Structure 1
C-alpha cells in the first residue's frame, strides 16, 4: 500500500449529502474480484447520460474542466452510507482520490477507506462549508493535507486541524495494510512454523 504523508492537489466539490455506495459504484460493476479498474465506473449514474458510459453528463461536477485531476473530494454529511461494499473506496482510489473531507461517514465505508490507503477526514459542518466556499470562488483551487501534523491547509493558508486514530495514522504513514502488518511478523511466523513442524510433523505431510 502506498504511504500517505502529505497530499496537495485539486479538491473537487460534491455538494450532496447521504451519498450511498450504490451511487459511488453501482451494483452492475461489482463482478470483478480484483481492486483495479473500478475508477471508470465511479459515480456512473451521475457522470454519464447513457448506460454504456460513453456520454458524459456536462452537469456533473467531476466532468467539469476545473476538477480534472482532482485527488481530494469535499462532500457533505453521511458519505458512503448504504451497503458495505468495499468496491466503493476501490473506485474512489482507482479514480485518483486519496482523501475525502466530510462532516460524517458511514462506519463501514470509513473503515474501508483506511484499509485501502485513503484518508477520510472528519471536520465540523461549518468548516466543510467554509472550504466549499473557498474552493468554489477559485476554480482549480488546491488543498494541502498534512497527515503527520493532522491539518488541512487552504491556498490562503487557513488551517483546519483534524483527529485521526493513532494506529490508523501509523498504518497510513508507513503504507501498511493488513497484509503489510502481518509481514512485519514474518520472522516470528517462520520460527513458529519451523518449531510447530517439528512438534506435529503429521500436520505437514503432503498427500500423495
Structure 2
C-alpha cells in the first residue's frame, strides 16, 4: 500500500514480523569498492559513453574505475552494469539501488548518514528507474524513504522502517522482506519493487527512537 509522507512523528502499533534472512553485524568500513571487471572492447566503449554522459549531466564527478563515477568524495557512487559480471553487493555505510530486480543493472550507492537530507535521483539518471535495493549499515542507525516526487514530496514508495517518522505506515511491507527485529522493525533489502513504486527522491533521517 502506498502512503503519503508525513512530517510528524507517530509511533505505529507494534506488529509481529517474521525474522527472515538476518545478517551478522557488518564490519565498519568507510570506502566503496571499485568495480573493474574484464570487458571486451565494445563493452569498454559503451560503458565509457555512459560515464561521459553522466559527467555531463551532473558536474563535479570523478571517474574512479572503468565502470564507476563518484561524487562528493564517495557520497554517491554510480556503477554501470557489465552484462557478463553482475554487481550485486552493497558496501557498508551505503544504501544501494539497482535499475532491475534482484540487484541487477546500473547501481546507485548513496552513503547513509543519520542526517536529515534529501537526494533527488534525476541528477544520477535514476529517477523512476529503481527496482531493487539493499541497505548495509549499523542496526537502527538511519531511516531511509523513497518518495514519488522530487525533494521528498508526493507518496512514500520505499522505506526501511515502518515508523510514521518517514510516512504513515509506509510501504508494501510483506513477508518476503528481510527484517531486523525491534520496534519498529528495520528492513534492509528488497529484491523487487512493485511496478508503481516509482522513486524520484530519497529521504534520510536519524532513526526514530
TM-score tier after normalising by the smaller chain length: under 0.3
Q: TM-score, normalised by structure 1?
A: 0.27
Q: Quick check: which one's helix share is greater?
A: 1
Q: Quick check: which one's strand share is greater?
A: 2
Q: TM-score, normalised by structure 2?
A: 0.27
Q: Which protein, 1 or 2, shows the higher relative CO under an 8 Å CA cutoff with sep ≥ 6?
A: 2
- Computing the radius of gyration from Cα coordinates, the structure with the larger value is 1
